[in-house]
Amino acid sequence: MSDPTFPALHGRPASGWLNDPNGLCRFGDRWHVFFQHNPDAPTHGSITWGHVSSTDLLHWREEPVALRPRPGEVDAAGCWSGCVVDDDGTPTALYTAVREHASDAWATLARGDAELRTWVQGPPVVARPDDPEVAEVRDPFAFAFGGRRYVVQGAGRPEPGARPRLLVHDASDLEHWLPAGTLLDDTDPVAATVAAADIWECPNLFPLDGRWVLLLSLWRAERPGEGTLAGVRYLLGDLRPDPDTGAPRFVAESGGTLDSGPAFYAPQVLVQPDRVLLWGWSWELDRSADQVAAAGWAGSLTFPRELVITEGALVDRPARELTALRREPLDAGAPIDVPAFELEADGLLGLSLRTGDRDQPVLEPGGAGPGPLRVLVDGSMIEIFGPTGSRTTRAYPAEDSVWVVSGPATGWVLGLP
């Protein structure tokens, strides 16, 4: 029997754990999405880099696992988040190698073949800083500035009251990074207000519409060593050369929340000539360990999204290719019992999941604000897009569940073309 909660159109393996998207890239005619993955269980452990690819952002092909922990090596406890760059035609992964635990993590390099299916993992490429304020460093992300390639990493301490920062390295030679100081820390008043955290994770830095955009995922400590994933913030600003070294320094001018939902974290972007694409990680909500074990899978990627700056704010919207998933019109005025569908509305729209005599509200009328809305549902994944941004949440249909819409809306059944 099929699992009515499984997001079949989102491009993930049929089983196992999934978290952060990694290594977004395009080589030849294929899009490649890597992600944190435990293929053996729906729990976080023995993290590898899973891999799917596509020619159209609709049909996803599961590829062999790319990076694996190596016993006795620097990544013995896991291959955590990072990026993929094109190094003179060679796909090259820059990733966080964890030897034993998060405080023993190193930036490491791996070289891939032309199909991005076979990888050779190497040694660390940069030393950890000798700084008591920087207990944990992770999530390398590459960008270009001033004709050179740099890599930014998130950093901080897993303790209440710690001071987050972003470290930057000159990675013109990918096998020998040169530390280039601090890209940003909490002495920046906008960053300190908008993105308060103890560790900044998964930094993404990229140009968009004449601005520099910085994405930060917030790790906030509840007690030493234990914390909460507290959402994703964006900062709009400027990237300026350090007057002494020429290394980049980010100056924030404004910022806000990227996706206001309760199940969105650790996004990564892919900068293309005509747009910036983004995928995020959506975790399970209100699902017990027994339910996850019975399902055999946990975590999903979001649908691909495009980023734009509108009226001074960063907004994400469904990638343009996703309209090709619309198969046939749907009567949104009647209960919906298909596994995947889309709604469009101009005005107040409500959505709930009805199972037996219980209704679970998913979107309250007016909850996404005024203006045009798009809602994409795929199994348990719900992605809501309005004029001011997105909201990602989860709800888990049973075999006899139906979705109930309130307010006028146009609908489509979704499926692969």
pLDDT digits (tens, 9 = 90+) for 223-280: 888 899 999 999 999 999 999 999 999 999 999 999 999 999 999 999 999 999 999 9
Count CA atoms closer than 13 A to 374's CA, side-chain side. 18
- Cβ atoms within 10 Å, residue 56: 13
In a domain, 53, yes or no: yes
Q: What proportion of the chain, given as a percentage, has pLDDT over 90?
A: 92
- Cα–Cα dist 90/93, whole Å: 10
In a domain, 10, yes or no: no
Domain count, the chain: 2
Q: What is the CA radius of gyration of the chain?
A: 21
In a domain, 76, yes or no: yes
One domain for residues 261 and 351: no
pLDDT tens-place string over residues 303-341:
999 999 999 999 999 999 999 999 999 999 999 999 999
- Cα–Cα dist 322/16, whole Å: 25
Query: 318, 334, 349 — which closes off a domain?
Result: 318
pLDDT band at 350 (very low <50, low <70, confident <90, very high): very high
One domain for residues 314 and 336: no
In a domain, 7, yes or no: no
One domain for residues 182 and 194: yes
Burial of 2 (0-12, 13-18, 19+ CB in 10 A): exposed
Query: Is 380 strand, coil or helix?
Result: coil
One domain for residues 297 and 353: no
In a domain, 5, yes or no: no
Mark residue 243 as left, alpha or beta (left: phi above 0; alpha: psi -120 to 50; beta: remaining): alpha
| DSSP label at residue 325 | G
Query: 292, 318, 344 — which closes off a domain?
Result: 318
One domain for residues 96 and 40: yes
One domain for residues 41 and 159: yes
Query: 318, 340, 369 — which closes off a domain?
Result: 318
One domain for residues 113 and 262: yes
Please give the single-letter amino acid code of residue 186.
D
One domain for residues 165 and 50: yes
Report the DSSP beta bridge partners of residue 363: 351
pLDDT for res 16: 98
**Which residue spans within 88-225 are E strands per DSSP?**
90-98, 105-112, 119-124, 136-145, 148-156, 165-170, 178-185, 199-208, 211-223
Element housing 87 (H / E): strand 78-87
What value does the mean pLDDT of the chain take? 96
One domain for residues 331 and 314: no
Query: Is 95 strand, coil or helix?
Result: strand
Please give the single-letter amino acid code of residue 49.
W
* Token pair for 138: 């992770």
In this structure, what CATH number is given to the domain that contains residue 257? Answer: 2.115.10.20
| DSSP label at residue 127 | P
One domain for residues 84 and 136: yes
pLDDT band at 103 (very low <50, low <70, confident <90, very high): confident
Please give the single-letter amino acid code of residue 209.
D
- 53 CB-near residues (< 8 Å, 6+ apart): 30, 31, 32, 33, 60, 61, 63, 116
pLDDT band at 126 (very low <50, low <70, confident <90, very high): confident
One domain for residues 388 and 271: no
Tell how far CA 229 is from the center of its chain: 13
- Cα–Cα dist 361/33, whole Å: 32
pLDDT for res 369: 74
pLDDT for res 1: 55
Tell me whether strands 297-298 and 16-27 are parallel, antiparallel or unpaired.
Answer: parallel
- Cα–Cα dist 214/115, whole Å: 30
Residue 127 predicted with pLDDT over 80? no
pLDDT for res 153: 98
- Cβ atoms within 10 Å, residue 118: 11
In a domain, 307, yes or no: yes
The closest of 256, 242, 252, 304 to 278, measured between CA atoms, is: 304
Query: Is 118 strand, coil or helix?
Result: coil
pLDDT tens-place string over residues 150-192:
999 999 999 999 999 999 999 999 999 999 999 999 999 999 9
- 290 CB-near residues (< 8 Å, 6+ apart): none
Domain membership of residue 395 as a residue range = 322-414
- Cα–Cα dist 109/94, whole Å: 5
One domain for residues 208 and 328: no
CA 263-211-185 angle, to 5 degrees, is: 65
Tell me whether strands 90-98 and 78-87 are parallel, antiparallel or unpaired.
Answer: antiparallel
Report the DSSP beta bridge partners of residue 47: 78
- 400 CB-near residues (< 8 Å, 6+ apart): 355, 356
Query: Is 387 strand, coil or helix?
Result: coil
In a domain, 3, yes or no: no
